[in-house]
């Protein structure tokens, strides 16, 4: 298995942020973490990336614990994009993308044509080729988010962890990013684990959905079984219904029921 977590528990003082989190991720698989705010999604991604110290359990990459890899060797295998990363002042889009190549550079090696090819490919994939020389502080929020995604892609890691990668993006760019993740998984066999708020987007792209509440996994499986479980409505405390597609392979679609729409107007 490319990436595995075994019974990871993360505590901050008396608060248990993550409890017995276990997951296996194969090459080319997309796993979507869903759940309400505070459910443990970000903590789980940090644990998978080796960025927090668990109270119990461990993360394995290619059969070795995260601690057994040097930071440089780990960076060649795993790329992590956090929520709302801070953009360095005066840095251009291309300079940010070039940072994704640092793990591949030797101690005295310069930036090679192979490194530049990886950066150019990442900028093209994220639609930023024409903005390569633009400073990050001159970009829109959505453009900055895509610049960070480009840096993650330039790293060419086999494992891609993303915390809310479609935040700040308009619907068109959300779709572009999600389609890009699907291509990376299908064509390059990149293992993708992402947290995402949009349930329908999760169901559209994920091979497996992990529903979390209270720092624990409540469900792990395919979209159709989740749609029939009643767990989504309970986890998010909403009323709604799933539209299950006929036998054409389309994912289920969740429609929230907004009661206020059907309530009579208050008397003046």
pLDDT tens figures, 63-80: 999 989 998 899 889 999
Task: Assess whether 203 and 229 both reside in one domain.
Answer: yes
| 254 occurs within a structural domain | no
| 28 occurs within a structural domain | yes
User: Would you state the pLDDT for residue 158?
Assistant: 93
Which residues form the domain of 132?
87-155
Rounded-to-integer distance, Cα 223 and Cα 214, Å: 21
* Cβ atoms 231, 219 nearer than 8 A: yes
Rounded-to-integer distance, Cα 152 and Cα 165, Å: 11
Residue 50 has pLDDT above 50, yes or no: yes
Question: Cα–Cα distances in Å, from 265 out to 70, 179, 240, 260, 261?
Answer: 63, 42, 22, 9, 9
| 49 occurs within a structural domain | yes
User: Would you state the pLDDT for residue 268?
Assistant: 44
Residue 194 has pLDDT above 50, yes or no: yes
Task: Assess whether 144 and 35 both reside in one domain.
Answer: no
CATH number at residue 164: 3.40.50.300
What digits encode the pLDDT tens for the residues 219-247? 999 999 999 899 999 999 998 888 876 56
| 219 occurs within a structural domain | yes
Task: Assess whether 142 and 168 both reside in one domain.
Answer: no
Number of domains in the chain: 2
Residue 57 has pLDDT above 70, yes or no: yes
Contacts of 187 (CB under 8 A, 6+ apart): none
Contacts of 33 (CB under 8 A, 6+ apart): 41, 44, 45, 193, 194, 195, 196, 210, 212
Task: Assess whether 114 and 211 both reside in one domain.
Answer: no
Q: What percent of the chain has pLDDT over 70?
A: 93
| 257 occurs within a structural domain | no
Residue 87 has pLDDT above 70, yes or no: yes
Contacts of 27 (CB under 8 A, 6+ apart): 2, 158, 189, 190, 191
Q: Measured between alpha carbons, how far apart are the two ends of the chain, in Å? A: 64
């Amino acid at each position: 298995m490319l990436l595995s977590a075994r019974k990871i528990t993360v505590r901050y003082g008396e608060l248990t942020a993550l409890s017995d989190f276990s997951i296996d991720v194969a090459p080319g698989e997309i796993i979507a973490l869903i759940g309400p705010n505070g459910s443990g999604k970000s903590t789980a991604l940090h644990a998978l990336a080796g960025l927090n110290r668990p109270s119990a359990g461990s993360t394995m990459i290619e059969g070795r614990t995260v601690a057994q890899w040097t930071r440089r060797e780990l960076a060649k295998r795993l790329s992590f994009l956090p929520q709302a990363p801070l953009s360095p002042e005066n840095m251009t889009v291309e300079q940010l993308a070039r940072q994704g190549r640092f793990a591949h550079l030797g101690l005295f090696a310069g930036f090679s044509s192979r490194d530049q090819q990886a950066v150019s490919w990442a900028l093209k994939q994220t639609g930023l080729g024409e903005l390569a020389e633009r400073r990050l502080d001159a970009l829109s929020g959505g453009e900055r988010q895509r610049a960070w995604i480009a840096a993650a892609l330039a790293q060419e890691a086999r494992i891609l962890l993303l915390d809310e990668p479609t935040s700040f993006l308009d619907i068109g760019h959300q779709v572009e990013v999600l389609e890009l993740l699907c291509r990376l998984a299908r064509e390059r066999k990149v293992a993708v684990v992402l947290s995402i708020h949009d349930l329908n987007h999760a169901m559209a792209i994920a091979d497996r959905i992990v529903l979390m509440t209270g720092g624990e996994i409540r469900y792990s499986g395919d979209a159709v079984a989740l749609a029939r479980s009643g767990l989504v409505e309970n986890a998010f405390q909403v009323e709604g219904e799933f539209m299950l597609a006929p036998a054409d392979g389309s994912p289920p679609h969740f429609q929230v029921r907004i009661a206020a729409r059907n309530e009579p107007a208050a008397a003046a």
